[in-house]
Structure 1
């Protein structure tokens, strides 16, 4: 098996690493860098995005013809990991959720260049942001079939009534992908739509407070009380809503893993630099056997996560849905992110628990990883079903 990156991908990876080191790491923790939600502030983001565009480090996942770099999933895995050496890197390069996943699915399912010009290009250009409205109170989360928000056909329009919540990036988003129920059919009862924030008949009820740092736009509760969406803004066919979620969520879960691996490596980078300088009981911390076990175990888990992620990325590039491979990566890397941050805090001691380093930020952020885009327990259920159905073929090579 050859894990060597192509010359093009290796060049981009190095350029991203150098950009993060030069333009992002020195700013972390500086006055005015973060907003009240502990994300990069909008004025600083605008400056850094302009620099990233000028350097040609923009929208790695999008076609070259539309201003991106046209990377496949293997290329994305290598580059996204470097971008997330700073947690603020992905949004600087226009590779952060939810826009990242929304751009990828719109590029796949929009049926004409005119529709892509209208709905996709502004996202690629970074002129607007987006949200994916699926999760509901007392309804769908890991199980999309529990969707109660309804879309009723009224002439050439669809009238939407219901609620969504924990919709990432909703505050300030202009473009929304909405999943709503159009029938009671078990497999084909959901349909996907596009709508613009300026359309009437919906509102943001609240921005839901969470325990960790937030993406831009937060995690919001939305109310739909008569939003009318023209049928021309429907995605795929009526009843293909579940299909669209599957097209979007598999690759999106894997890009989470790519970014989380970058954050995991950064935690060890910070801790590793500290333990090679800090002395305890007459020797460097790095010379203590117990410290070596902790650091080595976390490093091993990160590398396992990288192999799982690259394997899933390779299968996606072969045209496979890679469902079990993505699930395995998602479960393992989510656990690894938490372990890396926790290990780093333990090695850093009080310094790690303080806000003097980025590690405490990552620790609070990491807890969501085992929940978002399918709880770990759900992915293990998927893996169990695959194993019971496939038997020893579950472990086949290739």
Structure 2
């Protein structure tokens, strides 16, 4: 592949870097910039979103005719990495999970009427959204075939009963994509639906406390007690729920990697600035061989993650599902993010462990990377199956 970015993507990347450096990073040091869940405060967020929109940096993943920037996945990879050099970055540009993945899948599979009602407000930034799939044990987690939430046909619609948990963004969402069981067919037993926060007979049971800083809307437990969804709000065909999930998660998993690489790079930016100035026993820390090994190893791992992510992005742009490429990137980059920020904290010492830098914020956030959108062990299982099926062609250049 050609590693030169298209001019459109390169221009956006440069503009995003400037915005992050000049506007976002200075705000991270101000306590007034944060809400009670350690994310960017809503009044400030709305101001910054207006500024990003006015500078043509809004919704990079969406087509121009829908108000976005029409980026390819390769262009997104470079730009999302730049965005998340700030812990505030992706949500300011309307490129944060779960809205990011929801917008992309609705653009791919929704009807024109559904796009106008359910997608366009998310693109415009007037509402937020959530993807409702994961369930408490013994329900569906990494194995969707264990789905226990049901949608039963009733007249011209569907009635939903069940419970979900760790639903990202639910407390702030207006539009929801729901995956529920509609039959016992092992391959075609799930279907996808759209519902609104004001629809009756469902509720948020609780916002689940987590160790890290939270996305807007947190991670919630949800209960359905007869939620009625008109059939016109069904996505794709009956039985296509697993297919929709696979369509959504392919690119969405990779956008996590893109953003995590930005946080990994920012961690090393903070560390290199510190060791370049800090002296110990007559030498700058950066002059010590042990420090050089730590920095060099972390920098190399970030570059490996970038190459895996960009290769998967390129394959997605060619129309390939890139399942094994996305899984490899997901596992590698999740580990790399943790290594980069852990290295940075170690080199910065007590300063890194304190809240004088965002490193401790990134460290707590990083632990979820090996869990979300499929645990690393599940992705390794996927890779193993591919290896057993493909043999030597697992490493095919095509």
TM > 0.5 fold call:
yes
Q: Shorter chain as normaliser: what TM range?
A: over 0.9
Aligned residues: 397
CA distance, structure 2, for counterparts of residue 289 and residue 242 of structure 1: 51
Work out the CA distance in 2 between the residues paired with 1:172 and 1:394: 42
Shift of 1:154: 0.5
Q: What residue in structure 2 maps to residue 115 of structure 1?
A: 114
2:229 corresponds to 1:229: yes
CA distance in 1, matches of 2:203, 2:27: 35
Match of 2:129 in 1: 130
Determine if contact 2:166/2:208 at 8 Å carries over to the other structure. Answer: yes
C-alpha distance in structure 2 between counterparts of 1:228 and 1:25, whole Å? 45
User: In the aligned structure 2, how far is the partner of 1:172 from the partner of 1:359?
Assistant: 26
State the SS of the aligned residue for 2:188: coil
* Cα drift, residue 172 of structure 1: 1.8
Q: CA deviation at 1:241?
A: 0.4
How big is each residue's C-alpha offset from its partner over 1:212-239, in whole Å with a ceiling of 9 and x where there is no partner?
0000000000000010000000000000
Q: Structure 1: how far apart are the matches of 2:191 and 2:115?
A: 19
Contact 2:114 2:233 in 1 (8 A): no
Q: Displacement of 1:142 after TM fit?
A: 1.0
On the 8 A contact 2:195/2:229 being kept in 1, the answer is yes
C-alpha displacement at 1:396, in angstroms?
A: 1.1
Which whole-Å CA distance do the structure 2 matches of 1:171 and 1:27 have between them?
25
Unaligned runs of 5+ in 1: none
Alpha-carbon offset, residue 115 of structure 1: 2.0
Q: Give TM-score, length-normalised by structure 1.
A: 0.99
Instruction: Give the corresponding residue for 1:338.
Output: 338
Q: Equivalent residue of 1:336, what SS?
A: helix
| Mapping 1:28-47, distance limit 5 Å | 28-47=28-47
Q: TM-score, normalised by structure 2?
A: 0.99
Residue 117 of structure 1, CA deviation? 1.1
- Give the CA deviation at 1:21: 1.0
- Cα distance in structure 2, aligned partners of 1:281 and 1:328: 42
Q: Which position in structure 2 is the counterpart of 1:25?
A: 25
Matches within 5 A, 1:208-247: 208-247=208-247
TM-fit CA distance, 1:36: 0.8
Match of 1:8 in 2: 8
CA contact (8 A) 2:276 2:286 kept: yes
Q: CA deviation at 1:45?
A: 0.2
1:296 is aligned to 296
**2-structure distance, mates of 1:49, 1:395:** 42
How many Å separate the matches in 2 of 1:295 and 1:340?
8
Instruction: Compute the displacement of 1:281 (Å).
Output: 1.2
The residue matched to 1:374 in structure 2 has which SS?
A: coil
Once the two structures are TM-superposed, the CA of residue 31 in structure 1 deviates from its matched residue by: 2.8
